[in-house]
Structure 1
């Protein structure tokens, strides 16, 4: 018990140093749509940042592809950032934006289920194994660097195998978000589906107990009962890859960029600076706040149906800050809209706070599908009884990458 308390106190002290280091100002700290006064809301700010799922380099996991690397140190930072932005979407969907780590009694099943989907195992839906092998179909060797846009495309493909969450993932093209296409995507049927066993637990959601002794997963196809499945609108994960400059970020975009963190739908930003990828979760003044994946930890061993030891999945030291003008111009903005009303609200905020107030726009929001574009066809899951990584050779081209976005190097 004393060891646990000491660990918790060290965690508090680390965040306290971060808070004390912030400028002495009344200007709020913005974290993923929530704002805090540093002087009066330190504990609330601390709890919010600490509750974000933090994915870092790992070592000693099973070799990717059977003979590949057993660590992603040195090459997987953008993949880990992609995991973090997706995990935040899943937390918002299954637990709510107000959820805080450590406050529930016992172990929350949805929380544990989310964690299991990101474990460093080939049979977990959003593992480093699945993400790295998805790139093989695009000529990306395992261990090769990914940029923000390519990671977004990988996430879009992998979510097709997650029937529990049933996310609709839209990745914008040509700096343009098309409202008509998103409505078409999100209004796809949300009825009961057959689950491919790649995503983990494989038991009916309303009857499975993750802590029940002897619980196990049987690989293969299982029916999944999602509590949200009766909705006519699937939850939306919206990713907007952008290039806000040539070699350096254009200062004219900074204010609009910061406005994105103020939106209630904000999931943060994938980006960084040359040779380093970060997950940006907020800002104060002219500084961005981010979670850094560049720490190598041992892979966590956990069997399906058994609660994950989650201490290493929450940042136990202070998050970092950097000047906004130091940001690499290649980024990907993330937003989560739980229902159609939430999406309509996001559209209104974009019009009011970004499009109408800025001479040079970061991106465009249009109502109709551009007539010169190819027809929009919502992606569907291939009819195969396998994992995402294993079917890539039998499917069409997975990505529509725009390599000009990809200038970060890892």
Structure 2
């Protein structure tokens, strides 16, 4: 049945409109904060699109949990979209937004290390194995479908066990982003591998064969990156789960959604339409541009510590697009702020371009922690060696039930 569903989803994409089909127009195209002209900058636009890491269904990986499925075809599309959003944050963190992939050139070592974090194997930080098992504690059986909010919470939990990147992950609740809480989280210095000392950041243990040992040992680059930025601010991955309507998206939110793609901090949007989850990275006119995970490829299994064959991790077809009004109302917005200045700039853009221009706000941005909320306590990594999956207790829910939304692939 799973094989039939995956085949059906692949066939659906044949009928999707492609960006190359766009006529010459003066309408700009926005991709994750970058503006392009179809008439004069089409090669640059396509290069940007193809540089995004593309995660799809995979088959023939080691069974999840030892006895579970060896493919996520038919059920893992939202998990793959979550991987793409997080990967974009890591690319911005280590390589910069202007980095471009060239299949004929040798990439930087940080690029290969990012890929290793997402390999389909149990010891990769953000593998399908880790994400699916982290969801078990939320009552999500392996092979069940996820919604954007659930995936955001799973990424937040897994990030606690990723010492290489040391991201501060903030997932908003009740459609509210609290500035005070984010600054408290990003200024937190109690991480094991990135702690300030008299001479700067503490040095990590011997690197050895870092790729072979997995993400928990990939610490050297994080230290070097931090020395180039303010050591009192951990890079922020901000995810804002929203429901922009009941059964259909409310048209009043469309313009605000477009403004998010214009922001230089944009990581795109997790969402989709009934039965399909997509990773949206931009728009043109009244159409959204997205990466589609509904292609089943063989799992990549490089030699221990060796380079990853990355050809299948970049979509070399033309990007897909769909009408914004066809978007399901449940989404999660993603943003990356490398420095505190980036975050302050994002706050200013939200105030100016979204909150002041909308009579029905997509979300709220407040300075202080709401007094009627429980106190904000930045999460910390448990003091034991673990992947993290077993620390999710079924009674410690990752999200409120009324916020849950699932995109079903049936």
Q: What CA distance in whole angstroms lies between the structure 1 residues aligned with 2:356 and 2:298?
A: 48
| TM-score, reference length from structure 2 | 0.88
Q: What CA distance in whole angstroms lies between the structure 2 residues aligned with 1:50 and 1:297?
A: 17
Structure 1 equivalent of residue 327 of structure 2: 327
- Post-superposition shift, 1:222? 8.4
- Post-superposition shift, 1:190? 6.8
- Post-superposition shift, 1:205? 9.4
Shift in CA distance, 163/221, structure 1 to aligned 2, threshold 3 Å: closer
1:400 equivalenced with 2:385 (yes/no): no
Shift in CA distance, 208/90, structure 1 to aligned 2, threshold 3 Å: farther
- Post-superposition shift, 1:132? 0.1
Unaligned ranges ≥5, structure 2? 1-13, 196-202
1:107 equivalenced with 2:103 (yes/no): no
- Post-superposition shift, 1:111? 0.2
Q: What CA distance in whole angstroms lies between the structure 1 residues aligned with 2:75 and 2:19?
A: 31
Q: What CA distance in whole angstroms lies between the structure 2 residues aligned with 1:372 and 1:104?
A: 56
Residue correspondence of structure 1 range 10-409 to structure 2 within 5 A: 18-102=18-102, 105-189=105-189, 193=193, 216-217=212-213, 226-229=223-226, 231-392=231-392, 397=396, 399-409=398-408
Shift in CA distance, 407/218, structure 1 to aligned 2, threshold 3 Å: closer
Q: What CA distance in whole angstroms lies between the structure 2 residues aligned with 1:48 and 1:322?
A: 19
SS at match of 2:170: strand
- Post-superposition shift, 1:218? 8.0
- Post-superposition shift, 1:220? 8.0
Residues 162 and 215 of structure 2 are in contact (CA less than 8 Å); yes or no, is this contact kept in structure 1?
A: no
Q: Which runs of 4+ in 1 moved over 3 A?
A: 17-20, 203-210, 218-225, 390-393, 401-405
The aligned length equals 383
Moved more, 34-43 or 395-404: 395-404
- Post-superposition shift, 1:316? 1.7
Shift in CA distance, 113/102, structure 1 to aligned 2, threshold 3 Å: same
Q: What CA distance in whole angstroms lies between the structure 1 residues aligned with 2:217 and 2:360?
A: 49
- Post-superposition shift, 1:106? 2.5
- Post-superposition shift, 1:27? 1.2
- Post-superposition shift, 1:389? 2.3
What do residues 248-287 of structure 1 show as CA deviations (whole Å, max 9, x unaligned)? 0000100011110000000000000011000000000000
- Post-superposition shift, 1:107? 3.4
SS at match of 2:282: strand
- Post-superposition shift, 1:390? 4.0
Unaligned ranges ≥5, structure 1? 1-13, 196-202
Q: What CA distance in whole angstroms lies between the structure 2 residues aligned with 1:127 and 1:297?
A: 15
Structure 1 equivalent of residue 4 of structure 2: none
Structure 1 equivalent of residue 8 of structure 2: none
Structure 1 equivalent of residue 3 of structure 2: none
Shift in CA distance, 37/238, structure 1 to aligned 2, threshold 3 Å: same
SS at match of 2:126: coil
Q: What CA distance in whole angstroms lies between the structure 1 residues aligned with 2:241 and 2:292?
A: 20
Structure 1 equivalent of residue 200 of structure 2: none
| TM-score, reference length from structure 1 | 0.88
Q: What CA distance in whole angstroms lies between the structure 2 residues aligned with 1:191 and 1:141?
A: 31
Shift in CA distance, 219/293, structure 1 to aligned 2, threshold 3 Å: closer
Residues 124 and 214 of structure 2 are in contact (CA less than 8 Å); yes or no, is this contact kept in structure 1?
A: no
Structure 2 equivalent of residue 9 of structure 1: none
Residues 191 and 229 of structure 1 are in contact (CA less than 8 Å); yes or no, is this contact kept in structure 2?
A: no
Residues 166 and 190 of structure 1 are in contact (CA less than 8 Å); yes or no, is this contact kept in structure 2?
A: no
Q: What CA distance in whole angstroms lies between the structure 2 residues aligned with 1:137 and 1:178?
A: 27
Q: What CA distance in whole angstroms lies between the structure 2 residues aligned with 1:218 and 1:246?
A: 42
